[in-house]
A and B are shown apart, each in its own frame.
Chain A
């Protein structure tokens, strides 16, 4: 199946592991992603706080550019914040004629236009579980993630606000990530905070607020005995992974909880090499998870220096070695 693809800023840098693992798994699942040409930032949760018309126009440009991709009905985004911005602008333009007119007047200044409803906006997780199907993913598993306990973390924006006429998820208890991880052979732990907030940009604005929210999410996973938290959003990954040291310092905890992308877990179960799935880019190491699947751990920073084989090395005389040669 062919999709217009909006990666979003995070996937070009802080979430390269998400980008790499996505690129690795889509082909085998029969998904073709066509990147929106010259896309711009979606504005995150910031632009709408400054200028409403400009915020809608910013996202509108991405929607308009996506319509030039032939033979696609659906625009998919792997970042939950990008996903919601694209979805919301499309829906609100359709619902509020004044907003539609303003956005299109602005887009016209750049020679573009967008008719709301032209594209269906879908999160990458939903593309995989709904369009492709959990059973198809299960069929592609060659190395089941048996014995690994995973906490399925959805965060906020895939489930809320439910903007579709027939929302794909319960706003508080979605389950498609649970289903997916189960299909990969993993043990999915009970994770009642699965749709709680990671704090978004609060780590910048009020660190103590953010650390409290992050600590609660990691704490619940640790309590459930999870080996890792599996996320579907680069912002959630960044907050839980990169601030975990600060959270520990702030709360007096000693969490070492790996925060991994669902696409990395799919790739692992398909038997792909961890290094090809962006493993090693996480701040809190995912090695204990890899070890549980019995995988050697590759570091991302270049090839490991070649070790001289000591066994037959004449420069290292070992007791008895000379006589054996």
Chain B
């Protein structure tokens, strides 16, 4: 806590991992982001608080927070920030760090992202029906019973594919993604 904010190691990691992240150092703590956030009331720390916590070196608390996972990517905060801090991109960075650290105890949101991309990495396209089925069976299936009407309505209107579509260039896409992951790890 005695470190000056700009030298906090985790703050630096977050800045490094975010395009334009350098601006985070100039945060005024004005709270415009928090006031603009549509899911703010459901977050355990508002975006402004998260930035103050980053400055204070509270790495664990930040990574345990549900805040990035409740970000809806609406970009209101980013458009309104007087210091042009790329807040939504910082939330994405915190999601990645949180998945790495595995400190966030509700796995539903990270699982959604990972299941979604599992289909994309296998087929090149997203697959709504497979994704929804897999995800809802894993995460408290009983609470989702009411969603039966949703699925039925979508199916009868032929708005859910029964089989995933596969792109031709899967080998090419895999080669690209493998290389990218290799670069990300360094």
Contacts and interface: CB of A to CB of B under 8 A. Distances in A.
Interface in B30-80: 38-39, 42, 69-70, 72-76, 78-80
B181 A96 contact: no
A245 interface: yes
Interface of B: 17, 19-20, 38-39, 42, 69-70, 72-76, 78-80, 86, 88, 92-93, 95-96, 99, 108-110, 112-114, 116-117, 120, 124-126, 128, 132, 135, 146-147, 149-150, 153-154, 156-161, 165, 167-169, 172-173, 175-181, 183-184
Given A48-B92, A281-B158, A54 B78 contact: no
A53 B132 CA distance: 26
Interface in A27-81: 38-41, 43-54, 56-58, 60-61
A9 interface: yes
B86 to A, nearest CB: 8
Given A57-B179, A157-B75, A110 B173 contact: yes
Interface string A241-253: 0110110010000
Contacts of B168: 38
Contact of A41 (B42, B120, B160, B172): B120
Interface of A: 9, 12-16, 38-41, 43-54, 56-58, 60-61, 92, 95-96, 99, 102-103, 105-112, 156-157, 159-162, 171-172, 196-197, 199-202, 204-206, 208-209, 213, 242-243, 245-246, 249, 280-283, 300-301
A281 B157 contact: yes
A199 B72 contact: yes
Contact of A49 (B113, B147, B169, B175): B113
Instruction: Among A41, A61, A283, find the residue whose CB has the most chain B CB atoms closer than 10 A.
Output: A41
A58 B72 contact: no
For the complex, would chain A's binding face be called helix, strand, loop or mixed by DSSP majority? loop
A60 B112 CA distance: 23
B154 to A, nearest CB: 6
14 contacts: A12-B161, A49-B95, A53-B183, A58-B180, A61-B173, A95-B20, A99-B19, A102-B180, A105-B183, A109-B175, A112-B176, A172-B79, A206-B39, A206-B70
For the complex, would chain B's binding face be called helix, strand, loop or mixed by DSSP majority? helix
B117 A46 contact: yes
Contacts of B124: 40-41
A159 B80 CA distance: 12
B113 A242 contact: no
Given A14-B128, A105-B183, A92 B19 contact: yes
A11 to B, nearest CB: 11
A204 B134 CA distance: 12
A172 B75 CA distance: 11
A205 B140 CA distance: 12
Given A40-B167, A58-B120, A51 B181 contact: yes
B75 A50 contact: no
Given A43-B117, A54-B180, A14 B159 contact: yes
Given A14-B154, A45-B73, A196 B180 contact: no
Contacts of A51: 96, 180-181, 184
Contact of B172 (A12, A111, A246): A111
A102 B177 CA distance: 11
Nearest to A57: B180
Given A157-B73, A206-B70, A242-B150, 4 more contacts: A43-B120, A52-B92, A109-B175, A283-B154
Pairs A-B, 6 closest by C-beta atoms: A109-B179, A160-B75, A197-B74, A106-B180, A49-B95, A53-B184
A46 B173 contact: no
A197 B72 contact: yes
Contacts of B175: 109-110
